[in-house]
Structure 1
């Protein structure tokens, strides 16, 4: 089980200058390899190494060879992604980075947890730096150190260290929890938990309205205000995804399975009129949420799987009848055949759970579903 700890480096002025120079030369190597790979449409790391390594070593003699290779690896990954986008008919250009993070390995850095110090390879040899560990990550101190990325943002330097930890010893159980994700209700579980805060939508609307007003104004003060708002919505959504994933894991017993819908390419599949709904759909961070949920669930020995999302909102979780007009409104599901009525998101979460059980060749352990809207209201 791997976890990433963000260490806050506290370099002196001279050490910060060395780190900045090392990052600049590493970024220049990244751009050279990326230009060569994208122009020649070559994403083979070995071939790009042959074409660029010796020229880069002559141009940047002080940059350690291991960091030149690290820049080539990052550039190869970026070129491969850009060429894949081009093959799909999407817009793609030469990969570019303002400050490309440096990926260190065991040969170019070390970390000592006892003294809270680390050693990094730079253009002037090894530099030993002190660091601090955030309170929430102190439980990972002492783990086996793997790779690390050196990042710089607004004059501050952080080291993102990957720590390997033993997997939790949990007895697997037969419990399966389906989770329906949505824009109205952020998450609804098959065991009757409606998670997420109503105020989250209004917070996003408030930031959008403010940004739109400032962009229309266009004055110097408005632009200064926009710079302050830069990244605020991203950080807000990140916090919401952390809270939501944490609550789902808290409501799930260790050893069980959480089932989600596979929402990949949902933006291209869904037809929605222009307006707030379309804006929220295209800014929906479901992939980030899945990543947060996966690593939080792993710590408790919970598996996270995905199923095909088709017809989960149109199918009756009691009789299995599927029809588009079963969904009467955003919140109400009413089966046309058996008359079963339930909250639409709760009904979808049960269908998601049933889909996973069907793929395993099993059936629901519980009896017939006899919930109705009144029992849901009292839950």
Structure 2
């Protein structure tokens, strides 16, 4: 498994000036390749390398060849993303960066944990820097060093080092936990756990209202206040996702399986009119939450899988009857066939779990957590 450690660099004034110059020239390479790729609609890395590499080397002979190649790779990734947006009929322009992080590989940097020092390639040769290791990362020291990204933000230099560690032993367990994600209840598990805080929603509303008021005023003091609020909502949502994923993993025993809905493209499928519901849907960070949950679960020896989310909210987890009017409201599920009543999100989490169990049975895998009822079997074949 891979883990990313954020190391705080402590350069001297001369070293900081050198790092800043290297970042500026690397950013210029990135922008040049991105402009060429987007203008000519070319997202092939080899072709872009042939078109721009030698010109960039002539323009900036001090730039190490490895860093020029790293800028090509990053620019190619950005161009592919921009051209994909154009193909989907969405607005896009040539990718451009003010300070593009430098991606180092094993030939352009090294790290020594014993002395807490690192060596980075720059426009004036190698420079050796000291760094500090955060407390959470101490348990990952000693792993195999992979790539690293040099980032600069708000006057601070950080090195994001990828460390490869052996996968933990995963004990065998038949327990499966279905998790229903939502905007009203952040997460509801099939073990009857309602996770998340009610205050999270009001915190996001408060920031939105404050930013809207400041944008309406448009005064100098309002702009200064908006600058202070920059990124606060993102950091807040990131903290919520960390807390939520940690709580789910804490309630999952080692060897168990966490089953989630595959929510890809949900924004284009959902039918929500304009207003708070649409705003919250488009700011829903379910992909970030899944990445947090995956790496936390992997460290504990828990598997994370996804299933098709269709009809999980309309199906009765007791008899398997599916109907749109089974769900009477956001919180109430009442089956029209058997009269089974349950919280709608809890019912959906049980359906998510059962859906994965049925998929295992269809593949001939021994069913975990008991047998599936006849109703669920008929629902799976329908």
TM superposition score normalised by structure 1: 0.95
Mark the runs of 5 or more structure 2 residues left unpaired by the alignment. Answer: 374-382
The answer to whether the 8 A contact 2:358-2:372 is kept is no
Superposition pairs of residues 353-372 of structure 1, within 5 angstroms: 353-361=353-361, 365-366=369-370
TM superposition score normalised by structure 2: 0.95
Q: Deviations over 1:84-108 (max 9, x none)?
A: 1111111121111111100000110
- Following the alignment from structure 1 to structure 2, what is the Cα–Cα distance between the partners of residues 299 and 367? 29
The answer to whether the 8 A contact 1:214-1:223 is kept is yes
Q: Could you say which residue in structure 2 is the equivalent of 1:237?
A: 237
Aligned: 1:254 with 2:254: yes
Superposition pairs of residues 8-87 of structure 1, within 5 angstroms: 8-87=8-87
Q: Could you say which residue in structure 1 is the equivalent of 2:97?
A: 97
Corresponding residue SS for 1:7: strand
Corresponding residue SS for 1:93: coil
The answer to whether the 8 A contact 2:143-2:164 is kept is yes
- Following the alignment from structure 1 to structure 2, what is the Cα–Cα distance between the partners of residues 25 and 229? 30
Q: Could you say which residue in structure 2 is the equivalent of 1:373?
A: none
Q: Could you say which residue in structure 1 is the equivalent of 2:348?
A: 348
4+ residue runs over 6 A deviation? none
Q: CA deviation at 1:150?
A: 0.3
- Following the alignment from structure 2 to structure 1, what is the Cα–Cα distance between the partners of residues 372 and 267? 35
Q: Could you say which residue in structure 2 is the equivalent of 1:298?
A: 298
Q: CA deviation at 1:40?
A: 1.2
The answer to whether the 8 A contact 1:318-1:368 is kept is no
The answer to whether the 8 A contact 1:333-1:344 is kept is yes
Q: CA deviation at 1:154?
A: 1.1
Corresponding residue SS for 1:114: coil
Q: Deviations over 1:37-89 (max 9, x none)?
A: 11111111111111111110110111101000000011111111111111111
Aligned: 1:319 with 2:313: no
**RMSD of aligned alpha carbons:** 1.2
Q: CA deviation at 1:143?
A: 1.2
Q: Deviations over 1:254-286 (max 9, x none)?
A: 111111111111111111121111111110000
The answer to whether the 8 A contact 1:354-1:363 is kept is no
Corresponding residue SS for 2:83: helix
Q: Could you say which residue in structure 1 is the equivalent of 2:379?
A: none
- Following the alignment from structure 2 to structure 1, what is the Cα–Cα distance between the partners of residues 274 and 84? 29
Residue correspondences, number: 369
Q: Deviations over 1:8-59 (max 9, x none)?
A: 0010111000000000000000111111111111111111111111110110
Query: Greater CA deviation, 14-23 or 90-99?
Result: 90-99
